[in-house]
Amino acid sequence: MIARGGNLDELRRYLSGRTSASLGVVIAPVFGIAAMSVRPGGSEYGQLWAIAGMAVWLVAGTLLFAVIRPTEARLRSNTTPADELRMHATRLAWAGATSDLLFLGALLMMVTQPR
């Protein structure tokens, strides 16, 4: 159970480290767009897989910055009441899993380029 003292301290310790991995979410599509524009056969911006991949990536990135990061900040703060921790932890778990699946789907579309 999350609301117990030891587990609560462990949760806050786990979320205490900040990473710059979120920057990769913003940089990766920039490199992808640049790679598509210098492709020898011409750009493929109008292809369905490229549009769908960018749209899915945008949804996953929005979920990351609109739900996951703010929820992590709430859990990281020592002012979050113990009775709200379970709700925030559940939201973080579902949003994180959904975001991961969306990023994976976008990556697969970009790599396999289904036609």
Task: Give residue 66's pLDDT band: very low, low, confident or very high (50, 70, 90).
Answer: very high
Interatomic CA distance for residues 113 and 99, integer angstroms:
21
Give the per-residue SS3 of the chain. Answer: CCCCHHHHHHHHHHCCCCCCCHHHHHHHHHHHHHHHHCCCCCCCCCCHHHHHHHHHHHHHHHHHHHHHHHHHHHHHCCCCCHHHHHHHHHHHHHHHHHHHHHHHHHHHHHHHCCC
Q: Is the pLDDT of residue 35 over 60?
A: yes
What local confidence, expressed as pLDDT, does residue 97 receive?
94
What local confidence, expressed as pLDDT, does residue 36 receive?
75
Mean pLDDT of 50-62: 88
Residue entry with tokens 């945008």: 58
Of 8-12, 33-37, 53-57, 83-87, which gets the smallest average pLDDT?
8-12
